[in-house]
Every structure is written in C-alpha cells, then in structure tokens.
Structure 1
Amino acid sequence: MSLFTVLINSPHKEIIYTDQAPKPIGPYSQGVAVNDYEYTSGQIGIDPQTGALADTLEDQTHQVMKNLKAILAVSGLGFDDVINTHIYLTNISDFSTVNEIYSRYMGNATPSRSTVGVASLPKGAFVEIEMIAKKS
C-alpha cells in the first residue's frame, strides 16, 4: 500500500494522489489541497486495483466511499473532517439506498450536503460523490 502527495509549483496548492483510489479518467486530480482545505474530485465506483466499475448501485456506493476515504487519508483527513458533500444520482429514487450506505461510512459526521439527479455519469455509473474537507 502506498499513499503519497505530489507537490506542484505553488506554496498553497498540493495535488493529491493515491494508488488506493482509481486513477483519474480525464485531465483532473483525485484531489487538491489548498491552505487548510481538501477538495476531492467526484468519485465513481471504480475499483482502483482492477479498474472495473462495480455492477450494482450498492457496490458502487461502497466503492465510492472507500475511494474518498483513501483520498482524504493522503492529507491525514477522514470523514469527520468533511464539511460539504455533493452526491449525483442517475436515478433520484436511489436516494434512500445511497443515503443508508453513505450514513454507515459517515457515522456522526453531518456535513452540509446536496443530492442531485442527473441524466448520466461517466462510464455509466449510478452514483458519484465529491467532498470538501477542512484540516482541524
């Protein structure tokens, strides 16, 4: 297991990367840390070891949360540090299922959150989640 941060040429901005989350599928970073904040890119249910998208909504949601946990961990952060979450669903009626799984990972953390129904997501995913966290 390898966790590391790649620095870029800015005293206030770090590009976050871990091999414990999927490689970006486009020209973006897994996360960016600026001052005391970390912004994750939206994660879909891709297994970082196989590159495969999970088949079911439930499996995708679990994988998304594992991916986000790994990205936050690079900066020493966890779900308790999350201050805002955006969830995108291709079927808004999946809200309660995703919410139940999300709650298991978030525990007592209750960041502000938006959940939005969208027409489609990359690779045919059912759910995508992004987070903003603040270092204590």
Structure 2
Amino acid sequence: MTDGYDAITIGSGLGGLTAAALYARAGHRVLVLERNDDVGGAATTYRHGALTIEASLHQTSGLGNPIDPKARILRALGIIDELEFVPIGTFQEVRGHLFDSPFVLPHGFEAADAALTARFPRHRSAFRRFFERVGAL
C-alpha cells in the first residue's frame, strides 16, 4: 500500500473507526482519512440551515447476549470493561406545531409502545407489529 501503512481507512464514521481499530489491534499500521473537521460520521451534531441536528447514537443494547456483534467487537478491542453504560429515561422527544405538547418516546420497547399507543391509539396494531419485528432482530 505505502511504506508506512498496511491499510488506509476512508472515513471516520462508526464503521470506519471500528474497522481501523480492529485492524490496528491485530498489529497493522492504519491511516484513517476524514474529510470533515470531526470524527464520527453521522454520529455527530451538525447544522442544516438554522436547525441543529444531533444525530449520534443514543442507545445500545444487547451486550449481555454472547452472540451480539457489538459485544464481540468491544471485547476484541479490549475495551468492553472500560465502558460505562448509562441508563436513559427519555429516548427521544419531538416538538413542533403538530403537537400540543412535546411527545416523549421513553426507553424500552414496552414503554415506547405504550407511549405511542396512548398518543396515537388508532395505530396500536402497527406499533405492536413494529416492536415485534424489531425485537425479533
């Protein structure tokens, strides 16, 4: 590739950083190239006109499952025991002229399903199907 690197990673989003870290952990010299001023790709805050959008990862789960790919990657990087996972209450909050008051989407499938069903009762069966499908994944 070059005299100084075994691999070049284009982009420092979550996938690029993960691939580069795993390859480096295996003893290879890796160069990460990023066109933006910050790392993280879509997992960052950015502006679109007057709107500030916070698009980062808010929630992760499944790390207790031995076949979860995130847990395997974090173990392979040797950092899983260094991480502190913080429970969250509100997963998302939506405000706008379509809502009388902010709509709060809480953490957890059951709580989110209950909040969505309470706010949009006509769509109860669609929410149930959605959460069943996501849960199956």
TM-score range, shorter chain: under 0.3
Higher helix share: 2
The structure with the larger Rg is: 2
Q: Which has the higher contact order (CA 8 A, sep 6+)?
A: 1
TM-score, normalised by the number of residues in structure 1: 0.26
TM-score, normalised by the number of residues in structure 2: 0.26
